[in-house]
Structure 1
Amino acid sequence: MMINLGRRLVEKHGRRVAIITNDQGDVLVDSKVVRDFGFEYAEVLHGCFCCRFPEFITSVHEIMAKLHPDVVLAEPVGSCTDLLATVYAPLRRYYSGEITLAPYTVLVDASTVLRYHRKYDLLSPKDPLGSLLSWQIKEAEIIAINKVDLVSAENLAEVENLVRRLNSEAEVLRTSAKTGYNLDVLTDMLLSREHKPRPTIEVDYDTYGTAEAKLGWFNGSWKLSSKHKLKLENLISDLVLETAKRIEDLGGLVVHLKVSFWTGEGSAKASYVLTEESVDFTGTVPPPSDEVEVIMNIRALLGPEAITDCVKKALEAVALKYDAEYSGWVASSFKPSYPKPYYRLPQT
């Protein structure tokens, strides 16, 4: 979504665009993809924007000084919430002379949100993860229901009804980053409107911390090489699907699994599509090659050590299938620390 919004801002509106990526780890698929699409970018690593607000605002200032952008797109860690209180409110209070805030926009995955609702009851959650997901939707000014191309009209109506019940004040827009549906409308909304000051929502930080602690994170990189040309779409698809299967066989649930891969002739991104148990590609897959560099990011409901083991065994199985070898394995896995925002203000 970020890439497609950025491209529209550049190509259709003539804006200079910079992007800030964010992750709990330090090897980011998103940063590689952003760079490959030609955007200037900065990273906030080892924590979310709220807990690393000084690093976040430093990145904003550095990229503003370097590029003088018209628009800065910033996407926080997907498990974060309470961003009105911890990011929007301090930006408005302390940096309003430098920065104009667009409406706070939350993406809802149409292909997975009903699955989470049935598991956690987002309207009256008892499980910490259900509370986290509910809070994320409740603080939005614009709710962009993404991936509408993957769900039926009946399910889409159910998704829209759910988000409206969670947040009756937000404007709800159906979108698809893949097909481009309503992305021009969303772009126009972000350019023409400003954030409206409002009270921030109530978030129980013990519940929030417990929810994040249920998630295991994995970030890794390596190279695959072979004596013959590797068909990269097949190879990467098998690697993604085998990794996801091993996580799910252990009772885990993949929240996101994405891969950036490249050769001397190009690069692309692959993402696991949970509902279809398939792989979606962004960009043009490079032609067959005897070697390929890979970065993989995973967030899943499974212990971090178990996720690493799943990735390693999947990589070994796929390398064997394709008569390939892997080298340069660098990986880290962990659980996020308790959220401790630098600021938390009651009013934006």
Structure 2
Amino acid sequence: MVGGFLGAGKTTTLARLAGMYREQGLNVGIVTNDQADDLVDTGLLRSLGFNVEEVAGACFCCSFNELMDQMQNLSADKRPDVILAEPVGSCTDLVATVIQPLKHLFEREFEIAPYAVILKPSHGKKILSATSTTGFSPKAEYILKKQLEEADLILINRCDELSTAEADELEQLLAKNFPGTPVLRGSATEGTGFEAISEFLDQQGEFGRKILDIDYDVYAEGEAELGWLNCSVRLNAENEFDLDRFLVDIVEGIRQELLSNGAEPAHLKTIGLWEGFFGVANLISSDTDVRLSLPSHQKAKVADIVVNARVACDPELLEQIVKKVLDHQASQINADLEYRQLQSFRPGRPEPTHRYATAKT
């Protein structure tokens, strides 16, 4: 399982690891997780040819039995040698509620790898140094800190976007806040550092044992401050349009609207798919640029568009913004929009299926 805050790069990291394992001749299964349906990550990973199941509607800890069902579904046709799992980016306390129950209840079926948590540099530096405004409340920041606290390994991702001095500063902050926790650097986009990451995850030993002292009231209130939106639409245009440009324009339009409303994005991503091709654009904070993380290099007249947004604002405002931008961008290319699904809400209080107070041997 690979955790980390919203926008840390978990999906890209899992795709990179899955590709490495597949090159070794191993069968790989992936389980994604979200508080709602229509998850960009699931569509992306399936488009890359991976065997993917999804736990939707609640986090792994609150849907532990469904997590186990989905892992069984992965083995229905071809039993995986490796299962990679991506928890919801606003969740923590996963050692006590997922890893320890797996170890105790299913010890004969699984070997549990070290629990890796990805540090998101853009928000991580601000939160750990406490020197500037992050756009999140202290309760939301509490979640990121607790995620890092329970990690067996902290991965500084997106190092292709950092100078050596910036990466050094992050590593020093981590050493100060989480002494003794191993730290590795890498770039899931470029693949740098992943041999060392894979070697670490292949280790066996006393991992997944950091049971948090956690205040569930603060945790729940921090999650509830985030507006959650998943939206899927069918786009029909009179003439061919550049799919990648359209995806970037959607994310940039939403970014501008969020800025004007003083709302900090935790993560915003959109995927466009049609007949075998796809593209992905995303945004991870208000002070970073929109990124075309996976270009399609395609023109199309029809495309299915999925937008996932996690933002520190009221979900009703978030829905208004996303609909406004989608409608505007569709009008720019003389296209009709058919809304297939639209969900916006605040996450409810976490109610884990299991929670172990101490680590089992």
Within the alignment, does 1:279 sit opposite 2:291 as a pair?
A: yes
Corresponding residue of 2:19: 7
Q: TM-score, normalised by structure 2?
A: 0.90
Within the alignment, does 1:94 sit opposite 2:143 as a pair?
A: no
Within the alignment, does 1:338 sit opposite 2:349 as a pair?
A: yes
3-state SS of the aligned residue for 1:55? Answer: helix
Query: Quick one: which amino acid aligns to residue 46 of structure 1?
Result: G
Corresponding residue of 2:332: 321
Contact kept in structure 1, 2:268 and 2:310, CA below 8 Å:
yes
Q: Which runs of 5+ in 2 are unaligned?
A: 1-12
Corresponding residue of 1:48: 59
Contact kept in structure 1, 2:137 and 2:222, CA below 8 Å:
no
With over 3 angstroms needed to count, the CA separation of the structure-2 counterparts of 1:105 and 1:330, relative to structure 1, is same
Corresponding residue of 2:182: 171
Within the alignment, does 1:211 sit opposite 2:222 as a pair?
A: yes
With over 3 angstroms needed to count, the CA separation of the structure-2 counterparts of 1:240 and 1:199, relative to structure 1, is closer
Equivalent of residue 143 in structure 2, options 113, 116, 132: 132
Q: CA deviation at 1:286?
A: 4.2
Q: CA deviation at 1:221?
A: 0.4
Contact kept in structure 1, 2:247 and 2:280, CA below 8 Å:
no
Corresponding residue of 2:241: 230
Corresponding residue of 1:310: 321
Contact kept in structure 2, 1:128 and 1:210, CA below 8 Å:
yes
Corresponding residue of 1:150: 161
Corresponding residue of 1:191: 202
Query: Quick one: which amino acid aligns to residue 131 of structure 1?
Result: Y
| Aligned pairs (5 A) from 1:281-296 | 281-282=293-294, 284-296=295-307
CA distance in 2, matches of 1:119, 1:244: 24
Equivalent of residue 34 in structure 1, options 14, 29, 45: 45
With over 3 angstroms needed to count, the CA separation of the structure-2 counterparts of 1:177 and 1:345, relative to structure 1, is same
CA distance in 2, matches of 1:345, 1:18: 26
With over 3 angstroms needed to count, the CA separation of the structure-2 counterparts of 1:230 and 1:48, relative to structure 1, is same
CA distance in 2, matches of 1:330, 1:57: 27
User: What percent of counterpart residues are identical?
Assistant: 31
Corresponding residue of 2:82: 71
With over 3 angstroms needed to count, the CA separation of the structure-2 counterparts of 1:328 and 1:129, relative to structure 1, is closer
Q: Deviations over 1:124-170 (max 9, x none)?
A: x9821121111111100011110011122222222111122222122
Structure 1 stretches of 4+ moved >6 Å: none
Corresponding residue of 1:19: 30
| Aligned pairs (5 A) from 1:107-122 | 107-117=118-128
3-state SS of the aligned residue for 1:343? Answer: coil
Query: Quick one: which amino acid aligns to residue 207 of structure 2?
Result: K
Q: CA deviation at 1:197?
A: 5.6
CA distance in 2, matches of 1:164, 1:121: 20
| Aligned pairs (5 A) from 1:255-274 | 255-274=266-285
Q: Which runs of 5+ in 1 are unaligned?
A: none
Q: Deviations over 1:228-256 (max 9, x none)?
A: 11011111111111012112211111101
- C-alpha root-mean-square deviation of aligned residues, in Å? 1.9
Q: CA deviation at 1:195?
A: 4.9
Query: Quick one: which amino acid aligns to residue 141 of structure 1?
Result: D
Q: CA deviation at 1:65?
A: 3.9
Contact kept in structure 1, 2:247 and 2:271, CA below 8 Å:
no
Out of 319-328 and 302-311, give the one that drifted further: 319-328
Out of 55-64 and 133-142, give the one that drifted further: 55-64
CA distance in 1, matches of 2:308, 2:218: 25
